[in-house]
Structure 1
């Protein structure tokens, strides 16, 4: 695996984003990246559909092989998704506790929707409390390699991006449908399929750190979306207790219908439908 890194920061520690996000995302795509992890966001607390949301969706619409993963923001309140977390096509990620503490609880700082037009955000959550991360000393050329504990949705988003890469590898190496790698079964999954698999994997969270309250635990819901990403719940192997069926890049014309029948054998049936949406005009949901 290889990592493509884009530096958006200037000397003032502010972000410098191009007006056209194709300039930002395309270099990584052309180098073969299928997932883009973005631990940054606007300082404006708004659920409105703004420029950075639209630019993210525009790139996703014309480049449907790359999944864009974004942090939901650390506002800790309803209606507190930070752009581009409100974009339709990006996968927005909220934060939970980790296995060491507060497992099963959404982080108190994790921002959530709904967006102004009623969409649920974030779509999924992942551990973002007390995550070991890089620690810079702020000096260029020092070659420091220290680490430190950090918390935030910016810590959760890369974990989900990593899970997305594993899902992508599962399909490209031909693990589906047999549960073993068969090269002839391999295919390149669309961003919609990878995003759908992560949503499908969601496990309900039941509390919120520092608030003492309970979440409904009925998915989907703000502030956890479709729950904690658990790819072991969707990647099927020979010893798995579930079946997995996927459809990739299904297209429908106007007024066209698509049918799929499954034999009922007991147990639960869970279906996730996901697609990359066209870019709306400003002010339109």
Structure 2
């Protein structure tokens, strides 16, 4: 029997472009013949990306390794057009091919339709003055961004990737003359020109990066921005989810701190690809799995909740359902009431979403025409929150994790004492988030939690708890590296060592074990032999 080199799972996107182009995802079984090593990550990750992992104590693992080139070459030999490898999914996006040609490769095990949703991959001097914000004054002050700027935290040294449909005229719009650009890339045209596409991304970007004192100043004007076009407005297809993942992987390899995404998906031109509300569980949609992966790499993903509150769907869209994403809803800029169109939760597994709220109805933006006007939608509340996150990360100690930031923002919300699935934890505030002192106490406490043996060879793993965590209800939850929840159990007793069952069906893999209280949790990476 011929040895199988890899297993490819083929997904058909049922996407017809003007050139009748059809997309597929080919997923491989392993990365065994790789030319790269986990001990030499500088060969495939930037210094900034490696440093981010070290500061957050995140191990470099097989999901960081590039897809094996010989596997990609084998697929290309069928005549398929290669688009992008996805190392987190161990896959490659291809087009203009057919199942018969792919099946000629001896290592292809089976072919599955793309709409099968069960498959998927988790130094300047510090300034102390605030700005004359112009039209952006009210929405910036709502989040305490003015106080953040007075503290000298305007996003300097923070790298933000913006994933959107295009950034029309950003190169000629005078409000972006001071923009600190890391790079721009169009994942469809495969070039650096994103200024000739849709205006949505430029409008979104303005709430963070636009700068013209007295007229409009965004929330993080000194951050460095990476502009990625992953959305194609000429159609609605799940290929857009995969382009999002490709961009997220690129952002990770460069060393980005925040991914800001005002995109959301749930229905498509091909109805067979549609998601259902039961899929809002944080572990089904490809874009959600990609966001989960970004989180495991130490990236904070900030996503709009969606604008379906008054439509038939009503709920949040994907990837806003991820437990590892900061999901942002929308309030009216004047009344602070929830915007009618703002999508709400909860998730299908009962989690509160959105997490927080910002001004999105009557929000001020800079249009691609160079004019300042109002716009509506969570598309504009989410980037304001991302700007607040940039300043918070700058203000907090090195190594502050994405979940630390999310927890601070939730607990600083004006509805934190009684969160719900319309407002989440409410409207957060910079000063309140910064001054939450018991969060550091929790962080210090959870650093004393020990999980061993790791790697674990048995069916039981031990969690050693400090004395202050005894007699407190704890939840122990296992996830795959893609963020798929496997099993969960709660415990509240006097034991200093908790014995947990290891998921039996995931031997030979890395898993995530989350130990949590109602207000705080820490995630441990466990190798299961």
1:232 shift after superposition: 1.6
Distance 1:220 1:10 in 2: 35
Decide which of 105, 122, 125 is 2:357's aligned counterpart: 125
1:227 aligns with 2:227: no
Residue 380 of structure 2 is aligned to residue 155 of structure 1: yes
Once structures 1 and 2 are overlaid, which stretch shifts more, 31-40 or 74-83? 74-83
Task: After superposition, give the CA deviation of every residue in 1:50-100 in whole Å (9 maximum; x if it has no partner).
Answer: 322222213322x0x2100101111116861111111111111111121xx
- For 2:401, the equivalent position in structure 1 comes to 190
Aligned position for 1:256: 464
1:46 to 261, 270, 277: 277
CA distance in 1, matches of 2:487, 2:328: 23
The answer to whether the 8 A contact 2:258-2:299 is kept is: yes
Given that 1:47 and 1:86 are in contact with CA atoms closer than 8 Å, whether structure 2 keeps it comes out as no
Q: Give the aligned partner of residue 302 of structure 2.
A: 69
Paired residues of 2:316 and 2:344 also in contact (CA < 8 A)? yes
Indicate the SS of the match to 1:149. Answer: strand
TM-score (norm 1): 0.70
Root-mean-square deviation (CA), in Å?
3.2
> Which residue of 322, 328, 343 maps to 1:111?
343
1:180 equivalent in structure 2 = none
Equivalent residue runs for 1:191-230 within 5 Å: 191-204=402-415, 219-230=418-429
Determine if the alignment matches structure 1 residue 165 to structure 2 residue 390: yes
Structure with greater strand share of residues: 2
Q: Does 1:24 align with 2:218?
A: no
Residues 223 and 169 of structure 1: is their aligned pair in 2 closer, same or farther, counting only changes over 3 Å?
same
- Higher RCO, Cα 8 Å, sep 6+: 1
Q: Which has the higher Rg, Structure 1 or Structure 2?
A: 2
Consecutive unaligned residues of structure 2, counting only runs of 5 or more, are: 1-222, 268-275, 452-461, 470-474, 489-529
Q: Say yes or no: does 1:35 pair with 2:258.
A: yes
Number of residue pairs matched by the alignment: 230
Structure 1 stretches of 4+ with a deviation exceeding 6 A read: 282-285
- Cα distance, 1:276 vs. partner? 11
Q: Which ranges in structure 1 are unaligned for 5 or more consecutive residues?
A: 137-143, 172-185, 205-216, 237-241, 262-272
Asked whether the 8 Å contact 2:230–2:244 carries over to 1, the reply is: no
Cα shift at 1:24? 1.6
Give distance in 2, aligned partners of 1:284 and 1:169: 36
